[in-house]
Amino acid sequence: MGKQPHLLVGEGELNEIALLPGDPNRVGMIAALADEYEVISENREYKICNIDYKGKGLTVCSTGIGCPSAAIAVEELCKVGVKKIIRVGTTGALQREIKTGEFIIVTGAAKEEGTTKRYESEVYPAVSDYQVVSALVNVAKQQDHKFHIGAIVTNDAYYAETEEYVKIWENAGLLSIEMETSVILTLARRLGIEAGSILTVDGNLVEGSKKGETEGGEFPKKIRDRIQEMGQIALDASLLL
């Protein structure tokens, strides 16, 4: 087997557990928490590092924004031997009690996107693997973080969240909204690998603060710090898998 056309990696080049941020810049942020790291490839929205974390080899691979590019990443990672995936991303809260800077550990995702429909029926569940959820919860508790556990919604249109749309998902009890988790969970189950997702809340749509709001072109320091802490949780959870 040659190299994958988008990730530019071949079989055996990566580790069995991969952390998947959306933003390529967060690959370096997570890698900086490791003992050692090596950049394996950079192409389009995909940046990949292999890292050594407390004696365990892990891979970090960005997915870009949205389900289509995330699907490519999962498909090609699986083809080269990745067996377990943890998405590490940001999300906008849909419940008033969820505060900016808190974490969400995802149990499942409503599929308000088009990519998964090309693979499975709309009723096919996008559900996290229990072992991955358990590992994330255990580490978050040990590190005394404020977090929520439950289902979210994944959609395709970043700027399309009207008040009516937000109210529907708030009333449904979904915790937050983002753009990649449902396809990662759907493809992982379809491909026979394990996957989960941990997200940092960067805004609350019910309260009127948009997800991803920045100061001077970057997240406020509080959110940057929480994103780094989320990476730490995911790394430590990987040691339990």
Look up the CATH number of the domain holding residue 167.
3.40.50.1580
Of 117, 113, 116, 215, which is closest to residue 154 (Cα–Cα)? 113
Tokens of 47: 């940046």
Task: For residue 7, give the amino acid letter.
Answer: L
Q: 105-135, pLDDT tens digit by residue?
A: 999 999 999 999 999 999 999 999 999 999 9
pLDDT on residue 139: 99
Give pLDDT, residue 213. Answer: 59
67-79 and 181-191 helices cross at what angle (nearest 10)?
30
Placement of tokens 């289509």 in the chain: 68
Q: What is the pLDDT of residue 160?
A: 87
Higher pLDDT, residue 160 or 18: 18
- Lowest-pLDDT choice from 145-149, 208-212, 220-224: 208-212
Residue 11 lies in a domain: no
Q: What is the pLDDT at residue 219?
A: 72
Is residue 103, in this structure, part of any structural domain at all? yes
Query: Do the domain assignments include residue 31?
Result: yes
* Residue 34 belongs to some domain of the structure: yes
Given a cut of 60, is residue 149 above it in pLDDT? yes
How large is the average pLDDT for residues 213-229? Answer: 78
Spell out the long-range contacts of 123-127 with Cβ–Cβ below 8 A and sequence spacing 24 or more.
124/186, 125/189, 126/154, 126/181, 126/182, 126/183, 126/185, 126/186, 126/189, 127/185, 127/189
Residue 167 domain flag: yes
| 60 falls within a domain | yes
| pTM for this entry | 0.96
Q: Mind listing the pLDDT tens digit for each residue in 224-238?
A: 999 999 999 999 999
In a domain, residue 159? The reply is: yes
* Number of domains present in the structure of the chain: 1
Is 215's pLDDT higher than 80?
no
CA triplet 148, 213, 162: central angle to 5 degrees? Answer: 80
Q: Shortest CA distance to 188 belongs to which of 78, 103, 101, 46?
A: 78
Residue numbers of the domain that contains 99: 17-238
Question: Per the domain annotation, does 10 fall within a domain?
Answer: no
Dihedral of alpha carbons 29, 32, 33, 39, sign: positive
Choose between 221 and 43: higher pLDDT. Answer: 43
